[in-house]
Amino acid sequence: MNAPAYNFAYLDEQTKRMIRRAILKAIAIPGYQVPFASREMPMPYGWGTGGVQVTAAILGPADVLKVIDQGSDDTTNAVSIRKFFGRTAGVRTTTHTTEATVIQTRHRVPETPLKAGQILVYQVPIPEPLRFLEPRETETRRMHALEEYGLVHVKLYEDIARHGHIATTYAYPVKVAGRYVMDPSPIPKFDNPKLSNSDALQLFGAGREKRIYAIPPHTAVVSLDFEDHPFEQWRHPASCALCGDDASFLDEVITDDRGGRMFVCSDTDHCESRRAAPSQPTVQDAEVARG
Amino acid sequence: MATLTAGFADPVLAAQATFRAVMDATARPGTVVPVIDTVAAPPPLAAATAAVALTLVDGDTPVWLDPRLAAGPEVAAWLRFHTGAPLVDRPADAAFAILADPASAPPFEHFSIGTLDDPDRSATLILQVERFDDGAPLVLSGPGIADRATLRVAPLPPDMVARLTANRALFPRGVDLILTAGHAVAALPRSVMPVMER
Amino acid sequence: MYVAVKGGERAIENAHRLLAHERRGDRAVPEISLAQIEGQLGLAVDRVMTEGSLYDRDLAALAIKQARGDLIEAIFLLRAFRATLPRFGATQPVDTAAMRVRRRISATFKDLPGGQVLGPTFDYTHRLLEMPAADPPEPATTESDVADSVGTPMPRVTDLLAADDLIERSPGAGEIDDAAPPGDLTREALSFPADRDLRLQNLARGDEGFLLALAYSTQRGFGRTHPFAGEIRLGEVAVEVFAEDAGFVLPVGRITVTECQSINQFHGSASEPPRFTRGYGLVFGHCERKAMSMALVDRALRARELDEEVGAPAQDEEFVLSHSDNVQATGFVEHLKLPHYVDFQAELGLVRQMRREHAARTTAGGESPADATLSDATVADATVADHTREAAE
């Protein structure tokens, strides 16, 4: 039996070249899902294999990597992926958004605005924004080819007819550079505006579904809506119990079985930075609110 | 046949660094990005051109060489040895085209432009130019460009602006261009639109 | 008191330690060896090799041990290893007619050249649990059956039928360029409609249980294809590669495979006379159930090509091929274990908003019991918001 010897950043060079070619096509056709020969990775499909393959294909020894899941650096899957690259590529890792050159994320865009030179890599479960309206790839591919996006608008409009407002709260579809309707991955729609005209390059990897897509920097990304029902951001109408931020996206934390709960920043680095900064009002031992 | 010159000294890290330069250039059309790890390739292949080829081309990507590169056997032999890429005679069959005489490049639509269903199945043209600080300024807009970007390239086909405009009109189909000169790259992906000044 | 969700790294390390502990089991019982798995759980090894898409008995045994006997986990381990291997090229097509046959049965002819060879099969065992005796006698070693069949020509049943033009030629033969390398869906993303080479590769890697259920569904009328088990054969075949530099074909070894060719009805069309059609299954090792299921599903997927009515799940290429892979399926189903706080928070906000709107509508129209609970929740919301605002100040 041969002891496996793995390459820098795990993937072999042939695989990296294939992924790199797909990334370049993805950047050249913003929002279009480029099929690629996704490999079996040593973590399960659905757990970030697409993001991991994209990161492995771009990562170099000079990079500083940050990995977040649900906005947090310390969720188990983020830890696991960060360790994987620490071990296979020996790159420096960080939890600080501002220090990172490559940020791999699941379900959030960091609160701190990204800069030129940074790359945000999204893990994507279902890359096809039309999938839940039309399960067949043969059909949805055709719709993208013909720019036939009526179906999405019908879905959003049905929401309005039934509920009086759009009922999509995450993975809210966007149109990229005026052409392709794209799934921004299951980020809360609160994060959608951050996709537009970012200084950073945004790459999206869907391993199981074998698709890569991209938003170049300085590219218009518009959340789909209607003139009389414009796109709206949503966050819990509260402030972070730890740092006091009343503009960040919040997680609700249930603290007991009597209705006690509190709200804290979903982006842990953002929250910690605010608490570390001397000028910010700090709440060290927040009282738990009881209902 | 003369002995083949070597490829990258460190194939893994050099390919990574070169790819990042090309990716950066593609994400910011019109920006000139240095290529640090270069290779001694047989002339007339320039250092950056050879580095980009080693980074992106392999047995899965048919390559077309322009008449200047195909004139002698050296470039073809070097590419075949280091990348394993099959060389093709027809521009339409190529995933990558490498051109050392960009001024007389065949019309872009002679290369594969992809289909509406699969626009990514289109050719990437590596145009080896002489310099990035000469020639008529190309003013560009589009994804990756904050407002306007200006790129000076020499030499280029005399009808370059018309070619880029026609290529953009095919969107999402079209060819993507990587420009190389000396130790630097720039890119003109199909999404760029030349701006007519005034 | 709010405890920050920290310690992910330590939690993972502990989980790994616990897993290693559980995997080892009772320390008083000797550890199972790879040779034991390979030799005595051979069919598990075969399944892991087939669906893991890698012919290596040692590694498959190792994967089964490491996976604590969870075969899908073992398949996953083997696949992940396979993904890092360089690909040198494609072998020559294996010739199953030249197989060194250990088992060969046909349900379509009572006797045929080469005869029926029952071989090692559960088929006619009585499924009675046999309690291990204190000192069990070793089963006699036997090689005689195998030796008997070697050298006996054993033409494939489908070839015999084809000689009389009673069965179609191998589907796609003639259309597909034999010189062109076969497709490989580990190297290109699958697109639809898929060519038969990619379809068969997908089925060969597909989950045995999924294919079994689909095959069963065709027998029960969801896309009925009237199948006969034309032939099932198990044995060793030579694997050969064409050496470019040497210019000739080079044997690289022998592998065990199970092949199933189903024979199915076809009523003919305007241009085609009536004749039988084929479904094909081929797997590593001895995975007979899988090979048969694969043949039935392959035939069902040819419905469109053969101008049959398409409507059953097993005939739906995109449905079958997109959901057959158990490594993909298990990953995505199990990924629901990962945190989804963010999406859930967004949904929570929406549900509360819709409940408020619903309450407003019903209150306008009169009290209903649901309102009581609802207004409690709404009050609680407001309280929480107030408290946090105070805490933040």
C209 and C301 fall within a common domain: yes
pLDDT tens digits for range A10-31: 999 999 999 999 999 999 999 9
Q: How many domains does chain C have?
A: 3
C47 and C62 fall within a common domain: yes
**Domain that residue C358 falls in:** 339-392
Nearest CB among A28, A60, A216 relative to B20 is that of: A60
pLDDT at C365: 67
C384 and C280 fall within a common domain: no
Nearest CB among A12, A136, A287 relative to C318 is that of: A136
pLDDT at C154 over 80: yes
- Residue A236 to residue C349, Cβ atoms within 8 A: yes
- Residue B117 to residue A13, Cβ atoms within 8 A: no
- Residue B56 to residue A14, Cβ atoms within 8 A: no
Asked whether residue A46 is domain-assigned, the answer is: yes
Average pLDDT over residues B8-14: 92
> Is the domain covering B11-192 a CATH 3.40.50.11310 domain?
yes
A217 and A254 fall within a common domain: no
Asked whether residue C131 is domain-assigned, the answer is: no
CA-nearest residue of chain B to A219?
B143
C164 and C50 fall within a common domain: no
CA distance A41 to chain C (A): 5
Residues of B within 8 A of A13 (CB-CB) are 11-12, 15
Query: Is the ipTM here above 0.95?
Result: yes
CA distance C211 to C260: 14
pLDDT at B198: 47
CA distance A15 to chain B (A): 11
C323 and C206 fall within a common domain: yes
- Residue A37 to residue C385, Cβ atoms within 8 A: no
Three-state DSSP string of chain C? CCCCCCCHHHHHHHHHHHHHHHHHCCCCCCCCCHHHHHHHCHHHHHHHHHHHCCCCHHHHHHHHHHCCCCHHHHHHHHHHHHCCCCCCCCCCCCCHHHCEEEEEECCCCCCCCCCCECCCCCCCCCCCCCCCCCCCCCCCCCCHHHHHHCCCCCCCHHHHHHHCCCECCCCCECCECCCCCCCCCCCCCCCCCCCHHHHHHHHHHCCHHHHHHHHHHHHCCCCCCCEEEEEEEEEEEEEEEEECCCCEEEEEEEEEEEEEEEEECCCCCCCCCCCEEEEEEEEECCCHHHHHHHHHHHHHHCCCCCCCCCCCHHHCHHHHHHHCCHHHHHHHHHHHHCCCHHHHHHHHHHHHHHHHHHHHHHHHHCCCHHHHHHHHHHHHHHHHHHHHHHHHC
A202 and A286 fall within a common domain: no
Which residue type is seen at A183?
Answer: D
pLDDT at B162: 96
Chain C neighbors (3+ CB pairs < 8 Å): A
Average pLDDT over residues B19-41: 94
Of A178, A204, A223, which one is at a domain's C-terminal end?
A223
Sorting pLDDT into bands at 50, 70 and 90, what band is C392?
A: very low
pLDDT at A286: 42
- Residue A179 to residue B20, Cβ atoms within 8 A: no
Instruction: Assess whether A207 carries a catalytic annotation.
Output: no
Instruction: Assess whether A240 carries a catalytic annotation.
Output: yes
> Maximum CA pair distance of chain B?
54
Average pLDDT over residues B69-78: 94
CA distance B84 to C382: 67
pLDDT at C19: 94
Which stretch of A258-272, C110-124, C324-338 has the lowest confidence by average pLDDT? Answer: C110-124
How is residue A153 annotated by DSSP? H
Average pLDDT over residues A80-99: 94
Asked whether residue A7 is domain-assigned, the answer is: no
Asked whether residue A235 is domain-assigned, the answer is: no
- Residue A71 to residue C86, Cβ atoms within 8 A: no
Active-site pick, A31, A48, A50, A71: A31
Q: What are phi and psi of C251, to 5 degrees?
A: -75, 135
A116 and A209 fall within a common domain: yes
C55 and C101 fall within a common domain: no
Asked whether residue A5 is domain-assigned, the answer is: no
Asked whether residue A243 is domain-assigned, the answer is: no
Sorting pLDDT into bands at 50, 70 and 90, what band is C376?
A: very low
Sorting pLDDT into bands at 50, 70 and 90, what band is C232?
A: very high
- Chains A and C: how many Cβ contacts under 8 Å? 209
> Maximum CA pair distance of chain C?
91
Asked whether residue A1 is domain-assigned, the answer is: no
pLDDT at C52: 97
Task: List C residues 155-214 in contact with A (Cβ-Cβ < 8 A).
Answer: 185-193
pLDDT at C173 over 80: no
Residues of A within 8 A of B186 (CB-CB) are none
pLDDT at C87: 82
pLDDT at C270 over 80: no
CA distance A87 to A79: 12
pLDDT at A4 over 90: no
Nearest CB among A18, A23, A179 relative to B23 is that of: A23
CA distance B48 to chain A (A): 17
- Residue B172 to residue A180, Cβ atoms within 8 A: yes
Asked whether residue A145 is domain-assigned, the answer is: yes
**Domain that residue A98 falls in:** 13-223
Asked whether residue C243 is domain-assigned, the answer is: yes
pLDDT at C374: 37
Q: How many domains does chain A have?
A: 2
Of A223, A240, A262, which one is at a domain's C-terminal end?
A223
Q: What average pLDDT does chain B have?
A: 94
CA distance B173 to chain A (A): 9
pLDDT at C153: 84
- Residue B144 to residue A219, Cβ atoms within 8 A: yes
pLDDT tens digits for range A68-81: 999 999 888 899 99
Active-site pick, A46, A50, A243, A260: A243
Which stretch of A95-109, A271-285, C142-156, C319-333 has the lowest confidence by average pLDDT? Answer: C142-156
Asked if residues A27 and A201 have their Cβ atoms less than 8 Å apart, the reply is yes
Sorting pLDDT into bands at 50, 70 and 90, what band is C306?
A: confident
Q: What average pLDDT does chain C have?
A: 85
pLDDT at C78: 97
CA-nearest residue of chain B to A147?
B116
A120 and A219 fall within a common domain: yes
C226 and C357 fall within a common domain: no
CA distance A258 to chain C (A): 11
Of residues B66, B2, B28, the one with CA closest to residue B185:
B28
pLDDT tens digits for range A164-214: 888 889 999 999 999 999 999 999 999 999 999 999 999 999 999 999 999
Highest mean pLDDT among A38-52, A66-80, A113-127: A113-127
Q: What average pLDDT does chain A have?
A: 91
Whether the CA torsion B189, A142, A223, A120 is positive or negative: it is negative
Asked whether residue C385 is domain-assigned, the answer is: yes
C212 and C65 fall within a common domain: no
Burial C274-291 (b: 16+ CB within 10 A, else e): ebbbbbbbbbbbbbbbbb
Which stretch of A62-66, A129-133, C9-13, C371-375 has the lowest confidence by average pLDDT? Answer: C371-375
A86 and A217 fall within a common domain: yes
Average pLDDT over residues A115-123: 97
C313 and C353 fall within a common domain: no
Show me where the domains of chain B are located: 11-192
C327 and C210 fall within a common domain: yes
- Residue B172 to residue A59, Cβ atoms within 8 A: no
C309 and C360 fall within a common domain: no
Percent of chain C with pLDDT over 90: 50
Of residues A215, A214, A205, the one with CA closest to residue A37:
A205
pLDDT at C251: 93
Task: List A residues 40-99 in contact with C (Cβ-Cβ < 8 A).
Answer: 40-42, 44-47, 49, 69-72, 74-80, 83
Which stretch of A279-283, B53-57, C151-155, C195-199 has the lowest confidence by average pLDDT? Answer: A279-283
A105 and A200 fall within a common domain: yes
pLDDT at A289 over 90: no
Asked if residues C323 and C251 have their Cβ atoms less than 8 Å apart, the reply is no
Task: List C residues 315-354 in contact with A (Cβ-Cβ < 8 A).
Answer: 318, 322, 327-328, 330-335, 338-343, 345-350, 353-354
CA distance A72 to chain C (A): 9
Which residues of B sit within 8 Å Cβ distance of A?
A: 11-13, 15-17, 19-20, 22-23, 26-28, 55-58, 60-61, 115-120, 122, 124, 142-146, 171-172, 176, 189-191
CATH number for A61: 3.40.50.11310
Instruction: Assess whether A243 carries a catalytic annotation.
Output: yes
A151 and A284 fall within a common domain: no
pLDDT at A156 over 90: no
C222 and C150 fall within a common domain: yes
State the Cα torsion C107-C113-C119-C125 to the nearest 10°: 40
pLDDT at B28 over 90: yes
pLDDT at A287: 42
pLDDT at C385: 37
Higher pLDDT, C367 or B177: B177
Percent of chain C with pLDDT over 70: 85
pLDDT at C150 over 80: no
Asked whether residue C266 is domain-assigned, the answer is: yes
pLDDT tens digits for range C71-90: 999 999 999 999 988 888 88
CA distance A155 to chain C (A): 17
pLDDT tens digits for range B151-167: 999 999 999 999 999 99
The DSSP bridge pattern shows strands B193-194 and B137-141 to be antiparallel
A178 and A286 fall within a common domain: no
Instruction: Assess whether A244 carries a catalytic annotation.
Output: no
Task: List A residues 194-253 in contact with C (Cβ-Cβ < 8 A).
Answer: 208, 210-211, 234-242, 244, 246, 249-253
- Residue A266 to residue C345, Cβ atoms within 8 A: yes
